[in-house]
Amino acid sequence: MSLRARLIVPVLGLGQAVAFASSYYLLGVLADPMAQTLSLEPSALFIALSVAFLISAVLSPPAGRWIERSGGRRVQAWAHLAFAAALLTMALAPSAVVLMAGVVALGIGMSIGLYGTAFAILVEWHGAAARRPITAVSLIGALGGGLGWPVSRLIIGAWDWRVACAVWALVHLALCLPLTLAVLPRRHAASATKAAPGRIRWDRRMVQIAAVFAGGWMVSTAMGAHLPRLLDQLGLGAEHAAWAAGLMAASAIAARLFDLIVLHRSHPLATVRLACLFHPLGAGLAAWGGARLAPLLAVGQGAGNGLLSVASGVLPLHVFGPERYAARQALLLTPARYLQAVAPAAYAIALDASPHVALAASSLVCLAMCALTFGLRPTDR
């Protein structure tokens, strides 16, 4: 294997880590100082982020068709440009309106720059054997959550939030974009889609897979927004809850590593079912043990989410094969992107009722996801 081929996974993984750190996880650190500078309520910025998620959902299907027509390398390059443009808009924003427009514009980059394009590139290159590379890219991409917040905090501590936005934009432009163009392969001639391939029709299996991923993303986004508060209400205390919530990112990385080393030969459906059970197990132990076992909720959620992130790339490949992978996967993840936008508000209602109601609600979603995996069989190819 050539050096260039060996660099494909690290370059894609780096791009995903930077993309997540500078979009999905950005406001977790920057929202308060941004709001103070421009006389905004932090909630207004999170509303703008929800709009960005909605834009990502609307643009996801055409993004999949674009990958299918032009190849993932070109789309990945445009994703880095889109992220950089949004971040520079935020860094230079003279008013609250322009700042919120920059946050909303992150949705364009998210529609083409978070996992879907990277997974499509790996399927173009490896075909049906893309599981391990997908897992490896997902593993490196998880560092966006683990390192994104600390890096942003360091920059804010040394300078301010505008510099943080500008630094992330510079990383996209000066590091990720050149590496993407220099290392990622142009699509194989045999992979190029011939003229207008027609629409992909939804069938029962597509509905099932889309529902599984929609449930997974909804629970993941809700936990990302509310986990410290939920752990606090279980009796852990605010300081210890924030520390315990950090176990979620560590567990997600550990689960991806476990899949890469141990589970890569297992049936993808077995991996998905195992992933669906981690959150209910952690939630049940936390509800039963209170503060003493509450950190296990973070561990269970992280492990399940880590395996599901791999499954989002592998399960469609297993059931439908590599043909039209990019367009089909974009369709399958579109409902998840819509639910992602409403998950924090919906889960807040359950948590206001009681932490046990919230745990029961998210656990039932995960158990329903597990049930939906039955009856999924590969297409005869």
pLDDT digits (tens, 9 = 90+) for 171-212: 999 999 999 998 887 765 444 544 446 778 888 999 999 999
Q: How far is CA 130 from the centre of its chain?
A: 19
The total domain count for the chain is 2
- Count of residues making up the chain: 381
* 127 and 35 within one domain: yes
**pLDDT at res. 176:** 93
Domain stop point among 151, 186, 221: 186
The pTM score is 0.80
Comparing C-alpha atoms, which of 211, 368, 221, 209 is closest to residue 305?
A: 221
Indicate the pLDDT class of residue 241, thresholds 50, 70 and 90: low
301: in domain: yes
* 155 and 17 within one domain: yes
* 232 and 121 within one domain: no
9: in domain: yes
Domain stop point among 135, 153, 186: 186
- For residue 73, pLDDT beyond 60: yes
19-23, 53-57, 144-148, 350-354: the lowest-pLDDT one: 144-148
Contact 260, 242 (CB under 8 A): no
Comparing C-alpha atoms, which of 321, 324, 306, 79 is closest to residue 184?
A: 79
- For residue 169, pLDDT beyond 60: yes
Indicate the pLDDT class of residue 146, thresholds 50, 70 and 90: low
* 227 and 97 within one domain: no
196: in domain: no
* 171 and 142 within one domain: yes
297: in domain: yes
* 229 and 308 within one domain: yes
* 215 and 173 within one domain: no
* 155 and 276 within one domain: no
CA–CA gap between residue 26 and residue 29 (Å, rounded): 6
38: in domain: yes
315: in domain: yes
Q: Please give the average per-residue pLDDT across 260-287, as a whole number.
A: 86
Q: Please give the average per-residue pLDDT across 140-149, as a whole number.
A: 74
Sign of CA dihedral 12, 15, 19, 20: positive
86-90, 130-134, 216-220: the lowest-pLDDT one: 130-134
- For residue 381, pLDDT beyond 50: no
- For residue 368, pLDDT beyond 70: yes
3-state secondary structure the chain: CCHHHHHHHHHHHHHHHHHHHCCCCCHHHHHHHHHHHCCCCHHHHHHHHHHHHHHHHHHHHHHHHHHHHHCHHHHHHHHHHHHHHHHHHHHCCCCHHHHHHHHHHHHHHHHHHCCHHHHHHHHHHHHHHCHHHHHHHHHHHCHHHHHHHHHHHHHHHHCCHHHHHHHHHHHHHHHHHHHHHHHCCCCCHHHCCCCCCCCCCCCHHHHHHHHHHHHHHHHHHHHHHHHHHHHHHHHHCHHHHHHHHHHHHHHHHHHHHHHHHCHHHCCHHHHHHHHHHHHHHHHHHHHHHHHHCCHHHHHHHHHHHHHHHHHHHHHHHHHHCCCCHHHHHHHHHHHHHHHHHHHHHHHHHHHHHCHHHHHHHHHHHHHHHHHHCCCCCCCCC
191: in domain: no
Contact 135, 9 (CB under 8 A): no
Q: What is the pLDDT of residues 21-39, one digit of tens each?
A: 888 778 777 888 888 888 8
* 180 and 40 within one domain: yes
246 token code pair: 């950090």
* 179 and 270 within one domain: no
* 17 and 134 within one domain: yes
199: in domain: no
CATH number at residue 148: 1.20.1250.20
In whole angstroms, how far apart are CA 305 and each of 88, 96, 320? 31, 34, 23
Domain stop point among 154, 186, 218: 186
* 144 and 80 within one domain: yes
In whole angstroms, how far apart are CA 180 and each of 51, 109, 132, 166, 177? 28, 15, 20, 20, 5
Range of the domain at 231: 204-372
CA–CA gap between residue 271 and residue 303 (Å, rounded): 11
